[in-house]
Structure 1
């Protein structure tokens, strides 16, 4: 059984204000994201990817933007999904937020480097 114990695995700094921890199988990836640079005046630039994505807001509040959908104000306990190829983004509304994202297939771009 594969286990990632929170206190035993260091965060990877993606950029100032964003760090992550990753666990994955061959076709499924879960990513813990901690944002510490909010609130933001603007949303992140929209992006898309071929992966299907689900996200759980574990802490904080965000506005979720998804192509063709109304903007959604989400808080801890809420979830969203993103179909393959859809442009999407978030705007952090609180000083801190934790998101738990799952992707299939794997985000190889997250593993490179």
Structure 2
């Protein structure tokens, strides 16, 4: 197992135009560095949910976070959020670049 994931050495996965991610993981926990360069967006991304628990940390940029039927929340660098299993959620990017860290348990096999 590799214990260190240097940002510039991690495999880059292009998710879509303007969205890429880098992953470091153990057997039971996954950290995903996500970089969006397609903002600002005029609408939120489609809602999605997954059986994984998720906690996230905003590194750069600003977003609106939408969770279930709750009011949207404006997030900026330094803010955190947590999403329980199977709860619909999404974001809308408010700045040209958004960088965040997502952590998941169990592992997102669909990301590997």
- Indicate the SS of the match to 2:22: strand
For residues 18-53 of structure 1, give each alpha carbon's deviation from its aligned partner in whole angstroms, at most 9, with x where no partner exists.
000001111110000000000000100000000000
Contact 2:11–2:23 (8 Å) recurs in 1: no
Output the TM-score relative to the length of structure 2.
0.95
1:85-100 matched pairs, under 5 angstroms: 85-100=86-101
Q: 5+ residue gaps in structure 1?
A: none
Equivalent position of 1:81 in the other structure: 82
Q: Distance in 2 between matches of 1:96 and 1:15?
A: 14
Contact 2:51–2:85 (8 Å) recurs in 1: yes
Equivalent position of 1:30 in the other structure: 31
Equivalent position of 1:68 in the other structure: 69
Output the TM-score relative to the length of structure 1.
0.94
Equivalent position of 2:102 in the other structure: 101
Which ranges of 4 or more aligned residues in structure 1 deviate by more than 6 Å? Answer: none
- Indicate the SS of the match to 1:109: helix
Equivalent position of 1:6 in the other structure: 7
- RMSD between aligned residues: 1.0
Q: 5+ residue gaps in structure 2?
A: none
